[in-house]
Amino acid sequence: MLRRIAGLGALALVLAAPLRAQAYVYPALQPSRIAEREYNFALADVGDGGGTALVFQWREGLGNPKLQFTLDAGFADPDAAGADTRLVIGGGLAYQIATATSEMPFDIVLAGGLGFSTGDDVTTVRLPIGAVFGHRFPLEGGLAITPFVHPRLSYDRISFNGNSDSNTNLNVDIGANFEFKPQMAIRAAAALGDDDAIAISFAWTPKGLRK
């Protein structure tokens, strides 16, 4: 009986590692200002064996200057032996609730969404919501840098071979957006908390496609 319990415990530990690793909690890379239109190409390194993820993000204004739609799509390559490439897809909305003034120095964006990843009979659904706080600092030569912090809560549900588990996790992105041309920026962030990850991206707003 004890041997059976020990065996079940070991199996649970073996399964828990890939389940946690394949949640794919990469940094949201959402700056503190709404984008009229943006294409963001990101490379992320996900902790707990999550491996590397390549993610494309499309941000688009919805007619209201304070409202933005976001679509994430990409692939992830877990570190676990024999694990297959996973599909990562998600969508969300962001709303500019405040812009920086002399009296209130922060731009604030409220952001939430729905994320989905699947592969190796493991399916993860995530429902994150949080706020982004940042401030844009203009530099010489038309450059600018925007440090930002993005705390968020996420309800995560993972299904594996007919079993499922749910958790509420807290993560905080700490990052910066560096504008080196009017339509181009380099963005980097680290996600800290219940899940750890780092990411760097190239953000492009095509001038000819702006509304």
Q: What pLDDT score was predicted for residue 46?
A: 86
Give me the DSSP letters along 31-50: -SS--SEEEEEEEEEETTTT
pLDDT, mean over the chain: 85
pLDDT (0 to 100) of residue 84: 79
Nearest to 152 by CA among 91, 110, 94: 110
Structural domain tally of the chain? 1
CATH of the domain at 176: 2.40.160
* pLDDT tops 50 at residue 166: yes
Q: Report which of 94, 87, 131 is spatially closest to residue 113, judged by C-alpha positions.
A: 94
* Domain carrying residue 33: 2-209
